[in-house]
């Protein structure tokens, strides 16, 4: 009986993995890669890059900040004690599925007021955050409170968060390819006090 149960659980896990992967395969054909490519000059010319997101999206943004740091960019996570003031010539990269998270919208307003550029990743190109942004990357995933199984069977915005990380990783990979640095050069910037 235990083997049958394990087999059933294994099949359920495999089915869940297939569902997640298939959602991403569908989604990658609906992302506007020209929008992503337009970010490259802004990122390359930024004095400082600030990243921000709330909750699980914030975790994806922190992972992206680390990857940017490995490439040699001056990057800060908004809200961390070592983050300086944003200024003209800087860029804020904000992730918000709804584009309405109040703290993120306020940060974008601050960035705009000092002359910094704003990049947003969202599901809604008409949101407050998207309206403030210089560049908006739309990830066509369901918002966390919208249960639309035609878009995603996953819970509460999971597809957006996963796709945000994958989209940012594709951007990072492209920045690295264009930069030409070796993996050994990037490794020198990797944390050595873990």
d(CA 58, CA 109): 18
Collapsing DSSP to helix, strand or coil, 194 comes out as: coil
Tell me if 117 sits within 8 A of 111, measured CB to CB: yes
Find residue 136's DSSP bridge partners: 120
Whole-number Å distance between alpha carbons of 44 and 172: 11
Residues comprising the chain, all counted: 194
Interatomic CA distance for residues 51 and 56, integer angstroms: 14
**Is position 149 annotated as part of the catalytic site?**
no
Catalytic residue among 9, 149, 161, 185: 161
Residues classed as catalytic? 161
């Amino acid at each position: 009986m235990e083997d049958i149960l394990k087999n059933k659980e294994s099949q359920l896990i495999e089915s869940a993995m297939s569902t997640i992967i298939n959602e991403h395969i569908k989604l990658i054909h609906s992302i506007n890669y020209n929008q992503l490519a337009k970010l490259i000059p802004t990122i390359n010319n930024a004095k400082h890059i600030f990243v921000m997101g709330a909750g699980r999206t914030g975790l994806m943004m922190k992972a992206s900040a680390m990857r940017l740091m490995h490439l040699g960019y001056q990057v800060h996570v908004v809200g961390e004690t070592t983050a300086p003031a944003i200024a003209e010539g800087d860029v804020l990269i904000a992730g918000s599925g709804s584009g309405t998270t109040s703290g993120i919208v306020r940060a974008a307003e601050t960035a705009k007021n000092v002359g910094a550029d704003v990049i947003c990743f969202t599901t809604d190109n008409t949101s407050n955050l998207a309206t403030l942004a210089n560049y908006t990357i739309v990830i066509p995933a369901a918002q966390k409170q919208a249960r639309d199984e035609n878009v995603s069977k996953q819970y509460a915005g999971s597809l957006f968060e996963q796709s945000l990380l994958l989209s940012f990783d594709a951007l990072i990979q492209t920045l690295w390819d264009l930069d030409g640095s070796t993996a050994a050069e990037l490794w020198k910037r990797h944390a050595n006090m873990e």
